[in-house]
Amino acid sequence: MFAQRQLNYSNVNRVQAKEEREMTTIIKRKLMDIEAPNRSTGIVNGSSSNVLNWDDVRFGWAYPKYKRMLGNFWTPFEINMGTDVKQFTLLKTEEKEAFLKIIGLLALLDSIQTDFAGKVADYLTDSSLNALMIILAQQEVIHNHSYSYVLSSLVSKAEQDRVFDFWRTEPVLQKRNEFVMQGYEEFTNQPNIDSLLTAIVYDVVLEGLFFYSGFAFFYHLARHQKMVGTSTMINYINRDEQIHVDLFVKIYLELLEEYPEMNTLERKRDVERIFKEAAELEIEWAHEIIGNKIDGLDVEDVESYIYFYANVRCAQLKSERPFPAYRKNPLKWIKAYEEVDLGKTDFFEQKSRQYVKINVQDNGFDDL
Protein backbone atom coordinates (compact mmCIF):
# COMPACT_ATOMS: atom_id res chain seq x y z
CA MET A 1 0.00 0.00 0.00
CA PHE A 2 2.84 2.36 0.93
CA ALA A 3 4.65 1.48 -2.30
CA GLN A 4 1.50 2.23 -4.28
CA ARG A 5 1.18 5.65 -2.60
CA GLN A 6 4.81 6.35 -3.44
CA LEU A 7 4.21 5.39 -7.08
CA ASN A 8 1.12 7.61 -7.28
CA TYR A 9 3.07 10.48 -5.71
CA SER A 10 5.87 9.99 -8.23
CA ASN A 11 3.40 10.03 -11.13
CA VAL A 12 1.83 13.24 -9.81
CA ASN A 13 5.28 14.83 -9.57
CA ARG A 14 6.08 13.90 -13.15
CA VAL A 15 2.79 15.35 -14.37
CA GLN A 16 3.37 18.55 -12.39
CA ALA A 17 6.92 18.86 -13.71
CA LYS A 18 5.68 18.47 -17.27
CA GLU A 19 2.99 21.09 -16.71
CA GLU A 20 5.57 23.50 -15.26
CA ARG A 21 7.81 23.03 -18.30
CA GLU A 22 4.91 23.67 -20.64
CA MET A 23 4.02 26.84 -18.73
CA THR A 24 7.46 28.33 -19.42
CA THR A 25 6.09 30.60 -22.11
CA ILE A 26 8.43 32.52 -24.38
CA ILE A 27 7.99 36.08 -25.56
CA LYS A 28 8.83 37.67 -28.88
CA ARG A 29 12.02 39.68 -29.22
CA LYS A 30 11.51 43.42 -28.87
CA LEU A 31 12.11 45.47 -31.97
CA MET A 32 14.32 47.79 -29.91
CA ASP A 33 15.18 47.93 -26.21
CA ILE A 34 17.18 50.99 -25.19
CA GLU A 35 17.80 49.64 -21.68
CA ALA A 36 19.19 46.25 -22.77
CA PRO A 37 22.74 45.29 -23.79
CA ASN A 38 23.59 44.52 -27.40
CA ARG A 39 24.85 41.08 -26.34
CA SER A 40 21.76 39.07 -25.42
CA THR A 41 21.38 37.72 -21.89
CA GLY A 42 19.61 34.54 -23.03
CA ILE A 43 18.75 32.55 -26.11
CA VAL A 44 15.03 33.18 -25.43
CA ASN A 45 13.29 35.32 -22.81
CA GLY A 46 16.48 37.33 -22.36
CA SER A 47 17.29 40.99 -22.86
CA SER A 48 18.86 42.49 -25.96
CA SER A 49 18.84 45.90 -27.61
CA ASN A 50 18.35 44.03 -30.90
CA VAL A 51 21.40 45.82 -32.30
CA LEU A 52 23.62 43.29 -34.09
CA ASN A 53 27.35 43.70 -33.45
CA TRP A 54 29.09 40.54 -34.65
CA ASP A 55 31.99 41.29 -32.26
CA ASP A 56 29.62 41.26 -29.29
CA VAL A 57 27.29 38.26 -29.58
CA ARG A 58 26.35 35.62 -27.04
CA PHE A 59 27.32 32.51 -28.99
CA GLY A 60 30.85 32.13 -30.35
CA TRP A 61 29.73 29.74 -33.08
CA ALA A 62 27.27 32.22 -34.61
CA TYR A 63 29.74 34.30 -36.65
CA PRO A 64 31.55 31.33 -38.25
CA LYS A 65 28.14 29.92 -39.12
CA TYR A 66 27.16 33.26 -40.67
CA LYS A 67 30.30 33.32 -42.84
CA ARG A 68 29.71 29.75 -43.89
CA MET A 69 26.12 30.39 -44.91
CA LEU A 70 27.13 33.47 -46.92
CA GLY A 71 29.93 31.51 -48.60
CA ASN A 72 27.43 28.91 -49.80
CA PHE A 73 25.30 31.39 -51.70
CA TRP A 74 24.07 30.16 -55.07
CA THR A 75 21.16 30.68 -57.45
CA PRO A 76 19.38 28.33 -59.87
CA PHE A 77 20.61 30.45 -62.79
CA GLU A 78 24.06 28.90 -62.29
CA ILE A 79 22.71 25.47 -63.25
CA ASN A 80 22.94 24.52 -66.92
CA MET A 81 19.77 22.59 -67.74
CA GLY A 82 20.52 22.08 -71.44
CA THR A 83 21.46 18.42 -71.21
CA ASP A 84 18.66 17.69 -68.72
CA VAL A 85 16.08 19.00 -71.20
CA LYS A 86 17.28 16.47 -73.76
CA GLN A 87 17.57 13.60 -71.26
CA PHE A 88 14.24 14.01 -69.49
CA THR A 89 12.26 12.71 -72.45
CA LEU A 90 14.53 9.64 -72.53
CA LEU A 91 13.95 8.67 -68.90
CA LYS A 92 11.84 5.61 -68.19
CA THR A 93 8.25 6.27 -67.15
CA GLU A 94 9.02 5.19 -63.57
CA GLU A 95 12.02 7.52 -63.41
CA LYS A 96 9.99 10.46 -64.69
CA GLU A 97 7.23 9.78 -62.15
CA ALA A 98 9.71 9.55 -59.26
CA PHE A 99 11.52 12.68 -60.49
CA LEU A 100 8.34 14.78 -60.54
CA LYS A 101 6.93 13.44 -57.27
CA ILE A 102 10.16 14.15 -55.42
CA ILE A 103 10.36 17.69 -56.81
CA GLY A 104 6.77 18.23 -55.68
CA LEU A 105 7.58 16.98 -52.19
CA LEU A 106 10.71 19.14 -51.86
CA ALA A 107 8.79 22.21 -53.00
CA LEU A 108 6.24 21.70 -50.25
CA LEU A 109 8.79 21.04 -47.49
CA ASP A 110 10.94 24.05 -48.33
CA SER A 111 7.84 26.28 -48.49
CA ILE A 112 6.94 25.21 -44.96
CA GLN A 113 10.51 25.80 -43.78
CA THR A 114 10.58 29.36 -45.07
CA ASP A 115 7.64 30.27 -42.86
CA PHE A 116 8.70 28.15 -39.87
CA ALA A 117 12.16 29.73 -39.73
CA GLY A 118 10.59 33.17 -39.43
CA LYS A 119 8.26 32.06 -36.64
CA VAL A 120 11.18 30.64 -34.62
CA ALA A 121 13.30 33.74 -35.27
CA ASP A 122 10.66 35.96 -33.65
CA TYR A 123 11.32 34.33 -30.28
CA LEU A 124 15.13 34.23 -30.34
CA THR A 125 16.43 37.04 -28.15
CA ASP A 126 19.90 36.96 -29.68
CA SER A 127 20.04 39.18 -32.77
CA SER A 128 22.82 37.08 -34.35
CA LEU A 129 20.63 33.98 -34.26
CA ASN A 130 17.79 35.98 -35.76
CA ALA A 131 20.16 36.98 -38.59
CA LEU A 132 21.09 33.33 -39.19
CA MET A 133 17.43 32.34 -39.34
CA ILE A 134 16.74 35.08 -41.89
CA ILE A 135 19.56 33.74 -44.10
CA LEU A 136 18.19 30.22 -43.63
CA ALA A 137 14.74 31.36 -44.75
CA GLN A 138 16.23 33.14 -47.77
CA GLN A 139 18.02 29.93 -48.75
CA GLU A 140 14.73 28.05 -48.56
CA VAL A 141 13.24 30.60 -50.96
CA ILE A 142 16.12 29.88 -53.37
CA HIS A 143 15.43 26.16 -53.02
CA ASN A 144 11.81 26.70 -53.96
CA HIS A 145 12.80 28.86 -56.89
CA SER A 146 15.12 26.09 -58.07
CA TYR A 147 12.24 23.60 -58.24
CA SER A 148 10.26 26.00 -60.42
CA TYR A 149 13.38 26.58 -62.50
CA VAL A 150 13.86 22.85 -63.11
CA LEU A 151 10.21 22.17 -63.90
CA SER A 152 9.83 25.16 -66.20
CA SER A 153 12.83 23.82 -68.14
CA LEU A 154 11.38 20.31 -68.49
CA VAL A 155 7.58 20.30 -68.51
CA SER A 156 4.57 22.41 -69.44
CA LYS A 157 3.03 24.97 -67.09
CA ALA A 158 0.03 22.69 -66.59
CA GLU A 159 2.30 19.81 -65.58
CA GLN A 160 4.28 22.11 -63.29
CA ASP A 161 1.06 23.12 -61.53
CA ARG A 162 0.10 19.47 -61.15
CA VAL A 163 3.48 18.66 -59.56
CA PHE A 164 3.16 21.53 -57.08
CA ASP A 165 -0.23 20.14 -56.03
CA PHE A 166 0.88 16.53 -55.46
CA TRP A 167 0.84 17.04 -51.69
CA ARG A 168 -2.92 17.68 -51.72
CA THR A 169 -3.86 14.23 -53.02
CA GLU A 170 -0.97 11.81 -52.34
CA PRO A 171 -1.92 9.77 -49.22
CA VAL A 172 1.70 8.97 -48.33
CA LEU A 173 2.64 12.64 -48.52
CA GLN A 174 -0.38 13.65 -46.46
CA LYS A 175 0.69 11.34 -43.62
CA ARG A 176 4.20 12.78 -43.61
CA ASN A 177 2.95 16.35 -43.74
CA GLU A 178 0.53 15.84 -40.86
CA PHE A 179 3.31 14.24 -38.82
CA VAL A 180 5.58 17.30 -39.10
CA MET A 181 2.77 19.83 -38.86
CA GLN A 182 1.65 18.52 -35.47
CA GLY A 183 5.07 19.40 -34.06
CA TYR A 184 5.23 22.79 -35.74
CA GLU A 185 1.68 23.85 -34.95
CA GLU A 186 1.98 22.99 -31.26
CA PHE A 187 4.76 25.59 -31.09
CA THR A 188 3.05 28.23 -33.24
CA ASN A 189 -0.22 27.85 -31.30
CA GLN A 190 1.37 27.73 -27.85
CA PRO A 191 4.96 29.03 -27.87
CA ASN A 192 6.85 27.81 -24.83
CA ILE A 193 10.19 26.15 -24.14
CA ASP A 194 8.77 22.65 -24.34
CA SER A 195 6.95 23.16 -27.65
CA LEU A 196 9.95 24.97 -29.16
CA LEU A 197 12.28 22.09 -28.31
CA THR A 198 9.81 19.61 -29.78
CA ALA A 199 9.33 21.71 -32.92
CA ILE A 200 13.10 21.77 -33.46
CA VAL A 201 13.15 17.96 -33.33
CA TYR A 202 10.52 17.89 -36.07
CA ASP A 203 12.58 20.42 -38.03
CA VAL A 204 15.58 18.08 -37.88
CA VAL A 205 13.28 15.31 -39.11
CA LEU A 206 12.12 17.44 -42.04
CA GLU A 207 15.51 18.82 -43.12
CA GLY A 208 17.69 15.97 -41.91
CA LEU A 209 15.69 12.85 -42.82
CA PHE A 210 12.59 13.50 -44.96
CA PHE A 211 14.68 14.70 -47.92
CA TYR A 212 17.01 11.74 -48.02
CA SER A 213 15.30 9.07 -50.11
CA GLY A 214 14.74 11.80 -52.71
CA PHE A 215 18.40 12.82 -52.54
CA ALA A 216 19.39 9.17 -53.04
CA PHE A 217 17.24 9.00 -56.18
CA PHE A 218 18.78 12.10 -57.76
CA TYR A 219 22.32 11.05 -56.88
CA HIS A 220 21.59 7.64 -58.41
CA LEU A 221 20.64 9.38 -61.66
CA ALA A 222 23.81 11.49 -61.54
CA ARG A 223 25.87 8.38 -60.91
CA HIS A 224 24.65 7.14 -64.29
CA GLN A 225 25.15 10.56 -65.96
CA LYS A 226 21.43 11.28 -66.06
CA MET A 227 19.86 14.67 -65.21
CA VAL A 228 23.22 16.00 -64.05
CA GLY A 229 22.06 19.63 -63.92
CA THR A 230 19.15 18.83 -61.61
CA SER A 231 21.37 16.64 -59.45
CA THR A 232 23.89 19.48 -59.12
CA MET A 233 21.09 21.67 -57.83
CA ILE A 234 20.05 18.94 -55.39
CA ASN A 235 23.68 18.75 -54.28
CA TYR A 236 23.65 22.46 -53.39
CA ILE A 237 20.34 22.07 -51.57
CA ASN A 238 21.73 19.08 -49.67
CA ARG A 239 24.68 21.21 -48.54
CA ASP A 240 22.36 23.99 -47.34
CA GLU A 241 20.10 21.55 -45.48
CA GLN A 242 23.08 20.04 -43.65
CA ILE A 243 23.96 23.51 -42.35
CA HIS A 244 20.33 24.21 -41.43
CA VAL A 245 20.18 20.98 -39.42
CA ASP A 246 23.38 21.92 -37.62
CA LEU A 247 22.01 25.38 -36.80
CA PHE A 248 18.80 24.02 -35.33
CA VAL A 249 20.73 21.37 -33.39
CA LYS A 250 22.93 24.10 -31.89
CA ILE A 251 19.85 26.10 -30.87
CA TYR A 252 18.31 22.95 -29.35
CA LEU A 253 21.42 22.21 -27.28
CA GLU A 254 21.77 25.84 -26.18
CA LEU A 255 18.15 25.78 -24.99
CA LEU A 256 18.85 22.67 -22.93
CA GLU A 257 21.96 24.33 -21.53
CA GLU A 258 20.00 27.38 -20.41
CA TYR A 259 17.00 25.35 -19.25
CA PRO A 260 18.58 22.18 -17.77
CA GLU A 261 15.28 21.14 -16.18
CA MET A 262 14.10 20.42 -19.73
CA ASN A 263 16.91 17.96 -20.36
CA THR A 264 14.99 14.91 -19.15
CA LEU A 265 15.03 11.22 -19.92
CA GLU A 266 11.44 11.64 -21.10
CA ARG A 267 12.57 14.18 -23.71
CA LYS A 268 15.35 11.92 -24.96
CA ARG A 269 12.87 9.09 -25.33
CA ASP A 270 10.49 11.40 -27.20
CA VAL A 271 13.28 12.22 -29.67
CA GLU A 272 13.85 8.50 -30.26
CA ARG A 273 10.12 7.88 -30.66
CA ILE A 274 9.72 10.74 -33.15
CA PHE A 275 12.61 9.51 -35.27
CA LYS A 276 11.38 5.93 -35.21
CA GLU A 277 8.05 7.05 -36.61
CA ALA A 278 9.69 9.47 -39.04
CA ALA A 279 11.98 6.75 -40.41
CA GLU A 280 9.01 4.47 -41.10
CA LEU A 281 7.21 7.30 -42.90
CA GLU A 282 10.28 8.04 -45.01
CA ILE A 283 10.66 4.35 -45.84
CA GLU A 284 7.02 4.22 -46.90
CA TRP A 285 7.74 7.14 -49.22
CA ALA A 286 10.88 5.40 -50.53
CA HIS A 287 8.76 2.38 -51.48
CA GLU A 288 6.31 4.73 -53.21
CA ILE A 289 8.89 6.52 -55.37
CA ILE A 290 11.63 3.89 -55.69
CA GLY A 291 10.33 0.45 -54.71
CA ASN A 292 11.51 -2.09 -57.27
CA LYS A 293 10.97 0.39 -60.12
CA ILE A 294 14.38 2.10 -60.38
CA ASP A 295 17.07 -0.04 -61.98
CA GLY A 296 20.24 -0.21 -59.92
CA LEU A 297 18.82 1.43 -56.77
CA ASP A 298 17.91 -1.18 -54.17
CA VAL A 299 15.09 0.02 -51.93
CA GLU A 300 16.39 -2.18 -49.09
CA ASP A 301 19.66 -0.23 -49.21
CA VAL A 302 17.66 3.01 -49.12
CA GLU A 303 15.82 1.70 -46.05
CA SER A 304 19.14 1.07 -44.30
CA TYR A 305 20.31 4.53 -45.40
CA ILE A 306 17.24 6.09 -43.76
CA TYR A 307 17.74 4.13 -40.53
CA PHE A 308 21.39 5.20 -40.52
CA TYR A 309 20.48 8.87 -40.87
CA ALA A 310 17.81 8.61 -38.16
CA ASN A 311 20.64 7.42 -35.89
CA VAL A 312 22.89 10.29 -37.00
CA ARG A 313 20.24 12.89 -36.20
CA CYS A 314 19.38 11.40 -32.81
CA ALA A 315 23.07 11.34 -31.90
CA GLN A 316 23.34 15.02 -32.86
CA LEU A 317 20.41 15.76 -30.53
CA LYS A 318 22.19 13.79 -27.75
CA SER A 319 19.61 11.00 -27.67
CA GLU A 320 20.05 7.26 -28.06
CA ARG A 321 20.11 5.80 -31.55
CA PRO A 322 16.70 4.25 -32.30
CA PHE A 323 18.15 1.70 -34.75
CA PRO A 324 21.40 0.48 -33.13
CA ALA A 325 22.04 -2.14 -35.82
CA TYR A 326 22.51 0.59 -38.48
CA ARG A 327 25.84 2.19 -37.66
CA LYS A 328 27.30 2.44 -41.17
CA ASN A 329 26.10 4.18 -44.30
CA PRO A 330 25.10 1.34 -46.66
CA LEU A 331 25.28 3.56 -49.76
CA LYS A 332 29.05 3.97 -49.87
CA TRP A 333 28.93 5.52 -53.34
CA ILE A 334 26.65 8.32 -52.17
CA LYS A 335 29.31 9.94 -49.98
CA ALA A 336 30.94 11.36 -53.09
CA TYR A 337 27.74 13.27 -53.81
CA GLU A 338 26.92 14.26 -50.23
CA GLU A 339 30.38 15.58 -49.42
CA VAL A 340 30.02 18.76 -51.34
CA ASP A 341 32.93 20.66 -49.77
CA LEU A 342 36.04 18.72 -50.69
CA GLY A 343 37.45 21.52 -52.85
CA LYS A 344 37.39 19.46 -56.04
CA THR A 345 35.70 19.95 -59.39
CA ASP A 346 32.23 18.73 -58.54
CA PHE A 347 31.07 15.28 -59.54
CA PHE A 348 28.39 16.57 -61.86
CA GLU A 349 30.81 18.12 -64.37
CA GLN A 350 29.54 21.61 -63.69
CA LYS A 351 31.87 24.53 -63.02
CA SER A 352 34.79 24.08 -60.63
CA ARG A 353 34.08 25.36 -57.14
CA GLN A 354 36.14 25.75 -54.00
CA TYR A 355 34.43 25.36 -50.64
CA VAL A 356 35.58 25.29 -47.07
CA LYS A 357 35.53 21.72 -45.79
CA ILE A 358 32.39 20.99 -43.79
CA ASN A 359 32.50 19.71 -40.24
CA VAL A 360 32.17 15.92 -40.32
CA GLN A 361 29.22 16.06 -37.90
CA ASP A 362 27.28 18.20 -40.37
CA ASN A 363 27.94 15.92 -43.25
CA GLY A 364 26.65 12.47 -42.46
CA PHE A 365 29.44 10.24 -41.27
CA ASP A 366 30.00 6.60 -42.02
CA ASP A 367 30.70 5.37 -38.52
CA LEU A 368 28.58 6.22 -35.50
Catalytic (active-site) positions = 147
* Cβ neighbours of 55 (radius 10 Å): 7
Q: Tell me how far apart the alpha carbons of residues 144 and 114 are, in angstroms, rounded to a whole number.
A: 9
CB 210 within 8 A of CB 106: no
